[in-house]
Amino acid sequence: MSEPNLSVQLGRLHLKNPILTASGTFGYAKEMAPYLDFSTLGGIIPKTVTLEPRIGNRPPRTIETASGLLNSIGLDNDGLEVFIEKHVEYLLSLDTAIIANIAGRNVEEYRQMAARLQKHSGIAGLELNISCPNVSGGVDFGTNPESTEQVVRAVREECDFPVIAKLTPNITNIIPIAQAAKEGGADAVSLINTLQGMAVDWRNRKPILGNVLGGLSGPAIKPVALRIVHQVATAVDIPIIGVGGIASIDDVMEFLVTGASAIQIGTASFYNPGLSGTLSQQLSEILKEQNCDSVQQVVKTLQLPN
């Protein structure tokens, strides 16, 4: 049997395979160079960038939980201009798609960043972080259909990049949000960002994180992410990128079968930085075992009870 076709199409975004790295867990890629061949990836999503520099939240910023990681980084970064000056050239030299991840305090900031990045034609797409749970205002766009649509539409009007909206699970019903992202012109949605949580030092009667609340990621959130992928896949006609607790090829297959067309590796990169580089080969092997000619043959094939 010939090698399966691993390429995927997410709206206007074409990827050579569905394995992506999640923003905030892969740095700006250079840090990961000793651990994997970037050409094996479908794409890299570097750390979230904001228009102006951010110092982030007060420490402590991370703590391990029983089955994951709680973080309250607060989008610490040097700002858009430093990203362009110090990181874009290197990122675009890599043999994989580069999808920039941006966050703004208001619609105009998203618009400005999209316009500025438009000058760098090698960028494959933009992922809009409208769902970070540990920064002031950042999550608000993703909890309201009107503001979600407004942000996505503003970015679409300002640039030619394929646009991905990264949505929050910290909401009662995500379907109207995903629908709003589609109406605004999103090519795909990333599901999900982290779940809001906290950790407590009961002996000292204090929260452990300096910002009190943080975002939970890792294996603990995979069932929630799968549930949300399923709900959106059955209700909204838009490509989905599955994110949340993916650490093995079985996890990848669970998300694909449930309705995701691509996936992102996040927390697992911290303890196994080469993982994302091995998954595309494992995916090819498992598709051959399933007698599939392409990855698309397994997407959204979940058989529900009558």
String of DSSP letters for 152-218:
HHHHHHH--S-EEEEPPS-SS--HHHHHHHHHHT-SEEEE--PEEEE-EETTTTEESSTTSEEEEES
Q: Is 132 a catalytic residue?
A: yes
> Residues with Cβ < 8 Å from 303, sequence gap 6 or more?
none
Q: Which helix (H) or strand (E) holds 146?
A: helix 145-158
40 in Cβ contact with 281 (< 8 Å)? yes
- Match 């997410």 to its residue by tokens: 10
Distance CA 288, CA 294 (A): 9
Distance CA 155, CA 153 (A): 5
Buried b (16+ CB within 10 A) or exposed e, 257-278: bbbbbbbbbbbbbeeebebbbe
The two tokens of residue 306 are 């009558």
Active-site entry in 117, 132, 188, 295: 132
Q: What is the Cα Rg of the chain in Å? A: 18
Helix axis angle for 145-158 and 175-184, nearest 10°, is 20
Positions marked active-site? 132
